[in-house]
Amino acid sequence: AHGEGVLTRYSADLVVPREVRLECAVLKSLAALHVMEGPGSLQRYAAERELIAELTHAMVAGAPQSLDPLFAEWYAAAADDAARLRVVIDQVATLTDTRARSLHSVLLSQPRT
């Protein structure tokens, strides 16, 4: 019941029923109140920012070996330092919290050469 033609990511007109929109708004509010702005969130966010910064520095220092294969290819093909840094940042942006913590643990526990 989507009409004529193929659905595409940016050309489709998604119709979301009012009840669903209201439910999403309530759930977002609850998440903001109890998770994102709850007690300890400032300290948690500060710790997460520190972990991401340390991980990014470690990945840059160990690149391209510290990168996943696809990102290592892009790193090797990058034209300059700014483009190489962007590749590392793009990889960090793809990581789940669990994978970021795991990589942080592995990369920062290795002896520096």
Q: What's the mean pLDDT when you consider all of the chain?
A: 89
Q: Which of 108, 73, 68, 107 is nearest to 91 (CA)?
A: 68
Q: How far is CA 108 from the centre of its chain?
A: 20
Residue 7 resides in a domain: no
Please report the pLDDT score of residue 111 as a whole number.
58
The rounded distance, in Å, linking the Cα atoms of 62 and 4 is: 51
What percentage of the chain exceeds 70 in pLDDT? 89
In a domain, 60, yes or no: yes
Q: Is residue 10 part of a domain?
A: no
Cβ-based neighbour number of residue 96 at 10 Å: 8
Domain holding 57, by residue range, is: 41-109
pLDDT value of position 65:
97
26 domain residue, yes or no: no
Is 94 inside a domain boundary? yes
> In the chain, how many domains are there?
1
Domain membership flag for residue 18: no
**100 neighbors 91 (Cβ within 8 angstroms):** no
pTM: 0.66
- Asked if the structure places residue 33 within a domain, the reply is no
Per-residue pLDDT tens digits for 12-65: 778 899 999 999 999 999 988 887 777 778 888 899 999 999 999 999 999 999
pLDDT over threshold 90, residue 85: yes
Q: Is there a domain that residue 95 lies in?
A: yes
Residue 4: pLDDT over 90: no
pLDDT given for residue 1 in this prediction: 52
